[in-house]
Structure 1
Amino acid sequence: MKWVVRIFTALYVIALGLFLVGTFGWFGQEPDPMAGVFLMPLGMPWNLFFEGDDTFGFLVALMAPAINLGILWMVCDLVESRED
């Protein structure tokens, strides 16, 4: 079950990198308002629950997938402990 957590973590890191590159225009990339499109599905439902202004929405977009990662890790750990 830990492979699920690893895959989600890899997707989160990739989406976070794309978000930062697109938002701040790193590596010669033009700033793009759609840079967070890959973070949104990873952070559901927390993205919708904690909607806010631009500054707060920026932080929610960054941290919402981390909440799901923590929940996923706890569930996988619980399932593995029950299998033993």
Structure 2
Amino acid sequence: MRSKTDDAALVAMMRSGIRIFWAPLEVIVPRVLVVEVAPIVVLLALCMFLAVQGGAMLSYTEAAAHALHSPSTYIQSVLGAGYLPGVSR
């Protein structure tokens, strides 16, 4: 039966084996391009803007939700447009 010290030794030997045989000898630090960082910066700026000016976005989304839940205004404007000259049916 294995003990906890045997398990610890096995884990330590596996980690050292991975570092010796599978890891590259040189540690290469990946370069991050501006093109990769720009979307993250933009999203963080938008999050901060929404945190500060959330009321304006809330009123916009509430108006959009109201328009989606009562489509009568849209239906009236589309069906009540009438005949447009120059448009063939």
Bin the TM-score by the shorter chain: under 0.3
- Report which of the two structures shows the higher radius of gyration computed on alpha carbons: 2
- TM-score of the pair, normalised by structure 2: 0.27
